[in-house]
C-alpha cells in the first residue's frame, strides 16, 4: 500500500500537468502558427496565383506570363510523385525546380505590390527588371544538392526593389534567397554585368552576408549605363572533410533607369474684385524649369499686379515626364492671404506664396516604391 501511493501521486501529477497544458493551449492566440514548409504543391499554387495576378495587370506582361508557364512545366516534370513532400527531402533536380518557381512567384508578387503609384518610364524600368529576372530563372537548368537561388532584391527597409535611378553617388540594397552564403566559408562574390554579359565599370561591394541575405553597397552608380543589370552570386558550401566547394551561380536582375526628369506646367488664377463685382482671372500660365532627380527645387516669380484686390488664388498643374507622359492636378484654391501647397504626381509638391509672389516646385520622396 505504501508503494502504490507514490505511483498514484505521479499519475495525478501527470494528469494535472496535462490539464494545465491543454488549458494554456486553448487560451493561446488562434493566429499563432508555424508557416507551412515549402513543397512542390505550394510552389505550384504560388505560380498559379502569380499568373492570375499578371492576367489582371494592365498592360498584361505576356513574356513574364510565358516564363511562369515554363517554370510550371519544369516543376511538374521534375516533381513526379513528390508534389506534397517538403523541399528538403526531395531529389536535387526537383528541389532546384521548386526553389526557382518559388523565387519567380515571389518576384511577381513583389512587383505587383511595389508598382502602385508608378508611372511612365519608372513602370517600364520595373517591368524590364521583372521580365529579365523571371527569364533568367526559367532558363536556369543548374542542379546541386545545395542550391543557391535569389528570390528577391529589396531596400534596406525590406521593400521590393526593381530599379535604381542612374546618377546616384551610391546605392545600398540587399539580395534575399537561400544558400547565398556559408558562414564556414569565405564571403560570396557578387558581380554585375550588362545585358551583353560584360562586367560593368562599377561593381557592388558586399557589406554583410548570411545564407538568406546579402547586403550590398554600390558606389559609382553614376557610371553604370541605363539598362538591365544582371547580378551574379558566386557562393561556396562547406563539405565535411573536403572543405569549401563552389556552388552553381545564382542570378537576379535589376534595372538602371535614367534620372527622373519632370517639368511642371502651371496656371495661376485669382478671383479679382473690380467695380463691386468679382470675376476669375488668369494671371500667369507657363512651365517651371526642369526638376532632375530627388530633392531638386525650382521656382519662378509671378506678376499679379493685374489683380489689385484678389479674394482668392487658384493653382492648377500638369506634370510632364521625360517619356512624354502628362498628368493633371488641381485646381487648388486658398484665400488671397493664405499660401497654397499641393501634392502633385511623381512625388512633387507645388507651392504658391502670395506674399513673396513666388511659385516653387520640389521633387520629394520617390512616389514609385519599387525604384530608387
Q: Which of 202, 225, 257 is the last residue of a domain?
A: 257
The more confidently predicted of residues 174 and 25 is: 174
My answer on whether 200 and 238 are in the same domain is yes
Claim to verify: residue 190 and residue 288 sit in the same structural domain = no
Asked whether residue 214 falls in the same domain as residue 344, the answer is no
Task: Give tens-digit pLDDT for 327-346.
Answer: 899 899 999 999 999 988 87
pTM: 0.78
Among 197, 222, 257, give the residue marking a domain's end: 257
Same-domain status, 63 and 169: yes
pLDDT at 5: 44
Mean pLDDT of 359-366: 83
Going from the C-alpha of 161 to that of each of 111, 253, 282, the distances in angstroms are 8, 10, 43
Q: Say whether both 250 and 266 belong to one domain.
A: no
What's the chain's average pLDDT?
Answer: 87
pLDDT at 8 over 60: no
Same domain, 152 and 293: no
Domain region containing 358: 261-363
Could you tell me if residue 252 is inside a domain?
yes
Q: What mean pLDDT is predicted for residues 367-371?
A: 81
Q: String of b and e for 241-268 (b: at least 16 CB within 10 Å)?
A: eeeeeebbebbbbbbbbeebbbbbebbb
Q: Answer yes or no: is pLDDT of 130 > 80.
A: yes
19 has a pLDDT exceeding 60: no
Q: How far is CA 183 from CA 165, 213, 238, 370, in A?
A: 33, 12, 9, 30
% of the chain beyond a pLDDT of 70: 90
Beta bridge partners of 341: 351
For the chain, the domain total comes to 2
Same domain, 244 and 267: no
* Confidence at residue 1, expressed as pLDDT on a 0 to 100 scale: 41
CA-wise closest residue to 264 among 239, 285, 235? 285
Question: Is residue 2 a part of any domain in this protein?
Answer: no
| Co-location of 132 and 68 in the same domain | yes
Bigger pLDDT: 62 or 30?
62
pLDDT of residue 123: 87
Give mean pLDDT, residues 242-264.
91
171 and 244 in a common domain: yes
pLDDT at 192: 97
Dihedral (Cα; 155, 157, 159, 162), 10-degree rounding: -10
Which contiguous run of DSSP H or E holds residue 104? helix 92-114
Which one has a higher pLDDT value, 246 or 28? 246
pLDDT, tens only, 198-218: 999 999 999 999 999 999 999
Task: Tell me the mean pLDDT in the region 261-272.
Answer: 91
Amino acid at each position: 500500500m505504501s508503494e502504490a501511493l507514490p505511483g498514484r501521486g505521479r499519475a495525478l501529477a501527470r494528469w494535472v500537468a496535462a490539464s494545465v497544458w491543454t488549458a494554456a493551449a486553448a487560451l493561446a492566440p488562434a493566429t499563432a502558427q508555424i508557416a507551412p514548409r515549402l513543397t512542390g504543391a505550394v510552389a505550384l499554387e504560388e505560380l498559379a496565383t502569380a499568373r492570375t495576378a499578371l492576367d489582371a495587370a494592365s498592360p498584361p506582361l505576356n513574356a513574364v506570363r510565358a516564363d511562369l508557364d515554363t517554370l510550371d512545366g519544369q516543376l511538374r516534370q521534375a516533381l513526379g510523385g513528390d508534389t506534397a513532400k517538403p523541399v528538403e527531402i526531395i531529389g536535387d533536380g526537383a528541389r532546384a525546380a521548386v526553389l526557382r518557381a518559388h523565387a519567380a512567384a515571389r518576384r511577381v508578387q513583389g512587383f505587383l505590390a511595389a508598382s502602385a503609384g508608378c508611372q511612365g518610364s519608372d513602370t517600364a524600368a520595373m517591368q524590364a527588371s521583372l521580365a529579365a529576372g523571371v527569364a533568367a530563372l526559367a532558363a536556369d537548368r543548374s542542379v546541386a544538392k545545395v542550391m543557391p537561388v535569389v528570390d528577391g532584391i529589396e531596400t534596406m527597409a525590406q521593400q521590393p526593389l526593381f530599379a535604381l535611378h542612374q546618377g546616384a553617388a551610391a546605392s545600398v540594397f540587399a539580395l534575399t534567397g537561400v544558400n547565398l552564403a556559408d558562414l564556414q566559408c569565405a564571403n560570396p562574390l557578387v558581380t554585375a554585368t550588362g545585358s551583353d554579359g560584360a562586367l560593368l565599370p562599377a561593381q557592388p561591394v558586399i557589406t554583410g552576408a548570411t545564407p538568406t541575405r546579402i547586403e550590398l553597397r554600390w558606389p559609382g552608380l553614376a557610371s553604370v549605363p541605363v539598362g538591365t543589370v544582371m547580378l551574379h552570386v558566386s557562393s561556396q558550401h562547406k563539405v565535411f572533410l573536403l572543405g569549401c566547394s563552389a556552388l552553381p551561380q545564382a542570378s537576379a536582375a535589376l534595372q538602371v533607369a535614367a534620372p527622373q526628369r519632370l517639368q511642371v506646367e502651371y496656371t495661376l488664377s485669382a478671383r479679382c474684385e473690380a467695380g463691386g463685382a468679382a470675376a476669375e482671372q488668369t494671371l500667369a500660365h507657363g512651365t517651371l524649369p526642369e526638376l532632375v532627380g530627388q530633392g531638386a527645387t525650382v521656382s519662378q516669380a509671378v506678376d499679379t499686379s493685374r489683380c489689385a484686390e484678389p479674394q482668392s488664388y487658384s493653382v492648377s498643374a500638369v506634370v510632364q515626364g521625360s517619356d512624354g507622359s502628362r498628368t493633371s492636378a488641381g485646381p487648388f484654391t486658398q484665400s488671397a492671404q493664405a499660401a497654397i501647397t499641393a501634392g502633385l504626381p511623381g512625388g512633387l509638391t507645388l507651392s504658391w506664396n502670395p506674399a513673396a509672389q513666388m511659385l516653387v516646385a520640389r521633387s520629394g520622396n520617390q512616389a514609385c516604391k519599387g525604384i530608387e
